[in-house]
Chain A
Amino acid sequence: GENVEQHPSTLSVQEGDSAVIKCTYSDSASNYFPWYKQELGKRPQLIIDIRSNVGEKKDQRIAVTLNKTAKHFSLHITETQPEDSAVYFCAASFYGNNRLAFGKGNQVVVIP
């Protein structure tokens, strides 16, 4: 099946700085890559996603880049704010269908 690896596991940034989280995937047939934000004890919330026919997508302070050749994709958060503190999960569809394999998650801490 699909194997998604996510780095780093923990990231601390000063408020206002940028945060970058990287993920790699193994299944070349994967064509959908969402990023979720999860606060403690709550449901994952989709913050941005990208399909394999697009190299980059941006939504205000959040952007995702995809390198299909290298099979990795990254989440970029600019001008970080304390409310950005959460666990972020990357995911990739596998076997070319709707099933998602999740990375291990990244704890982002924004220091005021």
Chain B
Amino acid sequence: GAVVSQHPSWVICKSGTSVKIECRSLDFQATTMFWYRQFPKQSLMLMATSNEGSKATYEQGVEKDKFLINHASLTLSTLTVTSAHPEDSSFYICSARDIDSNTEEQFFGPGTRLTVL
């Protein structure tokens, strides 16, 4: 089946630093990937849609300059949390759709747990 990986699986950083999270589709190509944030015991909130070769589309209330998204290839999207603060601590999950599939299923990565001290 389709596999999506994320790296790192967890990261602890100091306030004010930037953190980059990678999302890779391992056995399929994805023109579109999605980034979600999930706080403890809460739902997944869509942050942005990452489009290969073009700018990401951000959801209302998500700061573009704080959450930088790059989708440079059909198998890799990155999310950079810039100048991270404790309130950015969360579980970040990506998902991807197979461009060759006729279904709408999104395959999720294992998530990255970010803790900002």
Residues in A20-76 with C-beta less than 8 Å from chain B: 32, 34, 36, 41-46, 49, 51
3 cross-chain pairs, A with B, having the tightest CB-CB distances, nearest first:
A43-B108, A102-B43, A102-B44
Partner of B49, one of A43, A89, A99: A99
A100 touches B43 (CB 8 A): no
Q: Tell me whether chain A's interface is mostly helix, strand or loop, or mixed.
A: strand
A7 lies within 8 A of chain B by Cβ = no
Q: Mostly helix, strand, loop or mixed at chain B's interface?
A: loop
A44 x B110 contact (CB < 8 A): no
On chain B, the number of residues with a Cβ less than 8 Å from chain A's Cβ atoms is 21
B13 at the interface (CB under 8 A from A): no
List residues of B whose CB falls within 8 A of some A CB.
32, 34, 42-46, 49, 59-60, 93, 97, 103-106, 108-111, 113
Flag whether A12 is at the interface (Cβ < 8 A): no
Give min CB distance, A69 to chain B, whole Å. 22
| In the complex, A98 has a CB within 8 A of chain B | yes
Closest approach, in angstroms, between the C-beta of A15 and any C-beta of chain B? 24
What B residues does A100 contact at CB under 8 A? 34, 46, 106
Are A49 and B105 in contact, CB atoms less than 8 angstroms apart? yes
Q: Report whether A43 and B43 are in contact in the complex, using a CB–CB cutoff of 8 Å.
A: no
